[in-house]
């Protein structure tokens, strides 16, 4: 029981720190806290928590704004950040689809393999679309 308390206590403190920070808190601290929680969740094999924390980190990367910036963020820069977040999420989707295809191939069922290949192709097409949109947005950000 003692080891559980000593393992969980830092996690509880970190969670409390993340959710009790004022709106003007530094984004780097939020990211660090989330990354620490991800490591802890991975350490204990909590895959659902890891997935949720990765989504939270992705959203923090996309939407967290340090108030220490001297110049305001333009709409184009916001668009780039959102697209980068989307791209990261789609990469995760492609990895999942690849894993499912490997599982289907292991079963040897042609229907399952074909379905998994279709899903993977759809995910890769989505990824390519978002990558193209991101390149366009980055070109616009550099030009402005």
Q: Over the chain (144 residues), what is each successive 10-residue block's mean pLDDT? A: 48 45 66 91 91 91 72 73 89 92 92 94 94 87 71
Instruction: Looking at the structure, tell me whether residues 56 and 94 fall in a common domain.
Output: no
**What sign does the CA torsion over 39, 98, 105, 114 have?**
positive
Mean pLDDT of the chain: 80
Q: Which residues of 47-56 are buried (b: 16+ CB within 10 A; e: fewer)?
A: eeebeebbeb
Of 65, 86, 103, at which residue does a domain stop? 65
In the prediction, which pLDDT does 11 show? 45
Q: How far apart are CA 111 and CA 126, in angstroms?
A: 23
3-state class of 25 per DSSP? coil
Instruction: Looking at the structure, tell me whether residues 6 and 46 fall in a common domain.
Output: yes
Predicted TM-score of the model (pTM): 0.49
Q: 55-62: long-range contacts (C-beta < 8 A, 24 or more apart)?
A: 55/89, 57/31, 58/85, 58/88, 58/89, 59/85, 60/27, 60/30, 60/31, 60/34, 61/31, 61/85, 61/88
* Residues of the domain holding 3: 1-65
Of 10, 35, 65, at which residue does a domain stop? 65
Query: 36-59: per-residue pLDDT in tens?
Result: 999 999 999 999 999 999 999 998
Q: How far apart are CA 11 and CA 13, in angstroms?
A: 5
In the prediction, which pLDDT does 116 show? 94
Instruction: Looking at the structure, tell me whether residues 6 and 61 fall in a common domain.
Output: yes
In the prediction, which pLDDT does 26 show? 78
Instruction: Looking at the structure, tell me whether residues 41 and 103 fall in a common domain.
Output: no
Task: Say how many domains are in the chain.
Answer: 2
In the prediction, which pLDDT does 69 show? 55
Spell out the alpha helix ranges (H) of 21-109.
Answer: 27-43, 47-63, 75-107
Instruction: Looking at the structure, tell me whether residues 5 and 61 fall in a common domain.
Output: yes
């Amino acid at each position: 029981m003692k080891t559980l308390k000593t393992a969980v206590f830092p996690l509880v403190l970190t969670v409390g720190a993340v959710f009790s920070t004022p709106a003007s808190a530094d984004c780097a601290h939020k990211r660090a806290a989330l990354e620490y929680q991800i490591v802890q969740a991975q350490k204990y094999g909590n895959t659902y928590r890891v997935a949720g924390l990765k989504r939270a980190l992705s959203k923090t990367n996309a939407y967290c704004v340090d108030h220490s910036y001297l110049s305001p963020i333009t709409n184009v820069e916001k668009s780039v950040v959102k697209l980068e977040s989307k791209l990261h999420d789609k990469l995760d989707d492609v990895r999942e689809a690849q894993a499912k295809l490997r599982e289907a191939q292991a079963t040897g069922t042609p229907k399952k393999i074909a379905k998994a290949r279709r899903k993977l192709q759809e995910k890769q097409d989505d990824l390519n679309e978002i990558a193209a949109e991101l390149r366009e947005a980055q070109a616009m950000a550099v030009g402005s």
